[in-house]
Structure 1
Amino acid sequence: MPGDIQVPQSVPASYYYLWHLTALGVIDADYGPAPLVLPDPGESAVREVPDPAIGATVWDMIAAAGPVYPARVALIDVGVSRDHPNLASRLEHDACIDLTTHRYGARVEPILDTATSFDREERQAFFTGLDIGPLGNLGLTNDDHDYLKDLADEYAVSEGVVRRLYAPESLFASHGTCCAGLIVGEPAVVTEGDGAALTVEDAFGDDGLPAPSTNRNLLPYFGVDPFSKLISIRTSFEDDVRQFIAAFLYAYHQGVDVIVVPRGFPDPKRSRVEPKNELKADLESWKNQDVANLFARLAAAEQGAAELEPKQAQKGANPDRGWRILKRLIVGVSKRIPIVCAAGNSGESQLIYPANLASDNNGIIAVGAVTVEGFRSGYSNYGEGLTVVSPADDGEVFNRHQLRVDTLSPFAAQHDNSEIRMPAYRYSHFSLLTTDLAGAFGYDQGAGPWSSIIPFAANPGVGGGFYTTFGGTSGASAQVGGICALIQRAHKSKNGAGASLTGLQVKEILQGASRLDTTVAPGTRPLTPDCMNADGEDSLDISYFFGSGLPDARLAVAAVLGP
């Protein structure tokens, strides 16, 4: 019963910054004795909880199966910091591309020798040999297929640029840097120049705990798969559909093993959340006639009326063609390469675009967020099409269906909830820790390595600003992207470096290794539906909130490796 949720159950053990890897079965961690049970609200219990001891890892399973070949993950986002110590050797610098500042792609190369004169910009082709023939017509009309083919042919002979200027990722790539750390972050080490990754044995001491770094700012940080490689495909939030078409064409051309899209796309039609049926029925009532009129005006605008369309296209133009082609391209590519998408952070029972394209006959994986308390994160979208969920932070909810309040917030004391009678769901104070841009442009806005010469950089940040707390369905989808990389890497260990599973195969393995009857370690409550947007919603099938459930990376890899 919802009322039972008001009584605190056994609480999670003390915070551990890689707790999400435990929840996903990537690492085994011993958190010590079971936490105490609090019998009554308001009572508290304090005990010393030792740091968890790290045991076996799923990385060991893959290494024991055969040669270790990295999977290649394409991250379509706002860019990734190429200089972050936990990411520098995990990025494929020669394959990363910026599609926001040049139509045919741009790349930044550092000036290694200041005594040598370099042109600031030189031409380079990034799409040479692009062939979309194996994709077929993607279900497009003949006209749209010809349009896409002409566009692909143009990119195949195009030339982008290589620039020796300041990298834009150093300013605007905080979101991508956070997602990249959750996927492929590795402990930062000083190498002999070969760029090799740190081994698991080097990273953990004899006591099973992470070994400290010689740099006091750096953590022995691990993404879900620190032995894979990442390609950053930088796109903007502008409603320029060509950059997104180019992004998927480039990922397909590179032959990556996984594509991660931890954000939505600004498709003017498909990114719009449609009103639910129950809301449409409410519009027919007399008291909502004004709202109904607004919906009618919006519908008229969709049919081409000038009202509410400040960017109305010129006569003869077909502004939806590019977006229509992009949708078919995403679905077509997903059947060959798994595409992991964030479900969205608006708390709606509908998914954002392109996560809402996920279906049983494609390789699009829509990912929602759950908390260590076992509930859907307060902001996470859910509903039809959701594939799986992954750990993240929480969001407060205060509506007529539930109360979820951060009691540690300094603003909590301003609200007297004693007279409120509604289901109360425990708020989770666990969040994801991940890599961040050091300095003012990062999420944490901590001081960068140059802080000693900047007197106003007073905030040292987590690890000197190299790390930040993070969450959202962005963080959840990034972790699932890492699990898909583990699946592909296990397949390569067994079948050779050139072997890859299709998007449909990876999705089937992922769903088969996910559970609805599990807890989000180190929490103790099983996955539990919550009432969010409608009366009695928590009585719906549990898959409506969690899809196939929480993935277990160990089960997924075991399914690939076999007995």
Structure 2
Amino acid sequence: MALRSDDTKPVPAGYYYLWHLAALGVITADFGPANEPLPPNNESALRNAAAPVISGSVWDTIAGLGAVSPAKVALIDVGISPDHPNLTTRIDHNASIDLATHRYGARALEIRDDTTSSFKEEKRPFFPGLNISGLGNLGLSVDDKEYLDDIVAEYAASYGVSRRLLDSNTLFASHGTACAGLIVGEPAALPSEDGESPFPPENILTNPNSTPSHPNKNPNLLPYFGADPFSHLVNITTSFEEDARQFIAAFLYAYLQDVDVIVLPRGIPDPKRSAVEPKNELKADLERWANRDAADLFARIAMAEQGPAELEPKSSQTGSNPDRLWTILTQLMIGVSRKIPVICAAGNSGESQLIYPASLAAPDNGIVAVGAVTVEGFRAGYSNYGEGLTLVAPSDDSEVFNRHQLRIDRLSPFTAKHQYSADTGKEYCYSYFSLLSTDLPGVFGYDEGKAPWSSLLPAADNPGVGGGYYTSFGGTSGAAALVGGVAALLQRAHRAVHGGSGKLNGKAMKNILEEASNQNRHVEPGVRPLTPDCMNADNEDVIDPGYFFGAGLLNAAAAVDAVLNS
């Protein structure tokens, strides 16, 4: 089929709830002849859409080489639902840690029904034997190195707690649960006696006879797959507080656990490094004589926001260095990334710069900055881009209204009530595809316990009674999670070739991911190749495609082949 030259018209494509795995090259799917795009709220049309023919997957490729030990992926986020049917056998519950509610780590134990069980907290060491000498020179000053050494010694001798209290992951873990599903989600089944996945190495997408030994009878569950459903997750729970110590502890713990991949699908609230710089074009506007009054107002507002130090409740004492911990965290993340790949989200503010710590991505480290693209072939309307972006992965979209671009949902009933015009800018078509992923069950999940996707279930007699197990998801968080799953696949492929529990270091992993990405690929089931757009400046779309897409859209199959043939 010929490519569309009109950027305002959607690419014909039928919806498939695992379309993102086809777009990444994890599965080989034939979507057949293109048909007209389907409205996301048209459940009947979605239900009747022809499913693609799945003819293969990288899972089968790796499984064909024999037994391979699972990769360990550390997810540093706000937590993961511990008992989600699609995730519970994928989470390494014995290695997971909560750093949000206890400085030295906490773990929730099962709440027992008998009245004789103790609810008293029990001391537990989570960092015994911690030693970071293997990281080498982190580029810290003598004083900062001594400071970090003291932190390491403190954690090595510390005691966290195990407690029989309500697990915070059952209340606040919606974001982490959605990311976890995209990384390692598997078809829901009852775990075997050893707690391992009840599925054989082959996947049920391509082998209908590959069924779990103890299938889950819940009719509201999807046969869901993450990018690597045969690896394990180490859940490292952190909060949104401006607390550098908890993130230092998170990376120390991931290093101590000797994980294969670290996924950080959100920014870190460093008060200095997470600040977004003003756009160059806006600074140029304020430097014009006609805008001198506005420039003066901006300057006075900035000064007022800083305020006097004595009125700042988090201000440090005289003589202290408030940036020391954040500096140590930065160098620690870079040092760890050279040993273990660190997959980071590029950010969702639509800026031509990356959020922190994705902004640390550089050729000499293993930090991978991931942007988001839509099935239409454009940068997702919210996705950050610019210098330092490593590559992109599929995700959802957002509407854009600015003087450079118009991107709107023309199927929305509100569109008919307004007149939208691109004026001097350009119009780009909006994508109706989002990522379907696992949700935190119950009222605290994204979908508040509803089941809008229950009608997609294959069982004809399913009434769709709910359960809130799934949600539409997206952002560069979703894109980064998918890349984290592919990185786990590559670690397993590496073991299939070299045996043992060896792994690719961060820089090697990053090189493979970049070489397996392509700026000219289209995002299946779409047919338009990756196409730059004007977001923050006129004629921005003539800039090199790498500015928007880095090395391009990742192809998991090409990456696995590169590892297997290395």
TM-score norm. by structure 2 comes to 0.90
Note the 1:101-500 alignment, pairs <5 A: 101-111=101-111, 114=114, 116-197=116-197, 198-199=199-200, 201=202, 203-204=204-205, 214-293=217-296, 296=299, 306=309, 309=312, 311-417=314-420, 420=423, 422-447=425-450, 464-500=467-503
Q: Which amino acid aligns with 2:555?
A: D
Q: Secondary structure at the match of 2:325?
A: helix
When residues 430 and 403 of structure 1 are mapped into structure 2, their CA distance, relative to the original with a 3 A threshold, is: same
When residues 367 and 349 of structure 1 are mapped into structure 2, their CA distance, relative to the original with a 3 A threshold, is: same
Larger mean Cα displacement after TM superposition, 67-76 or 281-290: 281-290
Shift of 1:296: 4.3
Shift of 1:236: 0.5
Distance 2:330 2:173 in 1: 25
Q: Secondary structure at the match of 1:149?
A: helix
Query: Aligned residue for 1:509?
Result: 512
Query: Aligned residue for 1:91?
Result: 91
Whether the 8 Å CA contact 1:5–1:424 is kept in 2: the answer is no
Distance 1:70 1:312 in 2: 45
Whether the 8 Å CA contact 2:200–2:210 is kept in 1: the answer is no
Q: Secondary structure at the match of 1:176?
A: helix
Correspondent of 1:557 among 540, 552, 560: 560
Shift of 1:481: 0.4
Shift of 1:303: 9.9
Query: Aligned residue for 1:531?
Result: 534
Whether the 8 Å CA contact 1:53–1:209 is kept in 2: the answer is no
Runs of 5+ consecutive residues of structure 1 not aligned to the other structure = 38-44, 449-459
Distance 2:176 2:131 in 1: 28
Whether the 8 Å CA contact 2:281–2:537 is kept in 1: the answer is no
Whether the 8 Å CA contact 1:125–1:160 is kept in 2: the answer is yes
Larger mean Cα displacement after TM superposition, 177-186 or 294-303: 294-303
Runs of 5+ consecutive residues of structure 2 not aligned to the other structure = 38-44, 452-462
Shift of 1:35: 3.8
Whether the 8 Å CA contact 1:213–1:220 is kept in 2: the answer is no
Larger mean Cα displacement after TM superposition, 201-210 or 424-433: 201-210
Q: Which amino acid aligns with 2:292?
A: Q
Distance 1:172 1:77 in 2: 10
Whether the 8 Å CA contact 1:445–1:461 is kept in 2: the answer is no
Once the two structures are superposed, residues 334-355 of structure 1 have per-residue CA deviations (whole angstroms, 9 ceiling, x without a partner) of 0110000000000000000000
Whether the 8 Å CA contact 1:65–1:561 is kept in 2: the answer is no
Whether the 8 Å CA contact 1:356–1:385 is kept in 2: the answer is yes
When residues 104 and 433 of structure 1 are mapped into structure 2, their CA distance, relative to the original with a 3 A threshold, is: same
Shift of 1:295: 5.3
Q: CA-atom RMSD, angstroms? A: 2.8
Whether the 8 Å CA contact 1:124–1:162 is kept in 2: the answer is yes
When residues 310 and 133 of structure 1 are mapped into structure 2, their CA distance, relative to the original with a 3 A threshold, is: same
Query: Aligned residue for 1:11?
Result: 12
When residues 8 and 284 of structure 1 are mapped into structure 2, their CA distance, relative to the original with a 3 A threshold, is: closer
Once the two structures are superposed, residues 522-555 of structure 1 have per-residue CA deviations (whole angstroms, 9 ceiling, x without a partner) of 0000000001100110000001000000111011
Once the two structures are superposed, residues 258-291 of structure 1 have per-residue CA deviations (whole angstroms, 9 ceiling, x without a partner) of 0000000110000001113332222222343344
Whether the 8 Å CA contact 2:10–2:376 is kept in 1: the answer is no
Shift of 1:229: 0.3
Q: Secondary structure at the match of 1:369?
A: strand
Give the number of aligned pairs: 543
When residues 187 and 157 of structure 1 are mapped into structure 2, their CA distance, relative to the original with a 3 A threshold, is: same
Shift of 1:195: 2.3
Residue 69 in structure 1 maps to residue 69 in structure 2: yes
Whether the 8 Å CA contact 1:204–1:210 is kept in 2: the answer is no
Whether the 8 Å CA contact 1:513–1:552 is kept in 2: the answer is yes
Q: Identity, % of aligned pairs? A: 62
Whether the 8 Å CA contact 1:216–1:463 is kept in 2: the answer is no
Q: Which amino acid aligns with 1:550?
A: L
Q: Secondary structure at the match of 2:480?
A: helix
When residues 24 and 204 of structure 1 are mapped into structure 2, their CA distance, relative to the original with a 3 A threshold, is: closer
Q: Which amino acid aligns with 1:551?
A: L
When residues 481 and 216 of structure 1 are mapped into structure 2, their CA distance, relative to the original with a 3 A threshold, is: same
Once the two structures are superposed, residues 11-36 of structure 1 have per-residue CA deviations (whole angstroms, 9 ceiling, x without a partner) of 11x21100000000001112122447
Whether the 8 Å CA contact 2:59–2:202 is kept in 1: the answer is no
Shift of 1:98: 0.5
TM-score norm. by structure 1 comes to 0.91
Query: Aligned residue for 2:458?
Result: none
When residues 102 and 399 of structure 1 are mapped into structure 2, their CA distance, relative to the original with a 3 A threshold, is: same
Distance 1:383 1:474 in 2: 17
Whether the 8 Å CA contact 2:385–2:547 is kept in 1: the answer is yes
Whether the 8 Å CA contact 2:8–2:428 is kept in 1: the answer is no
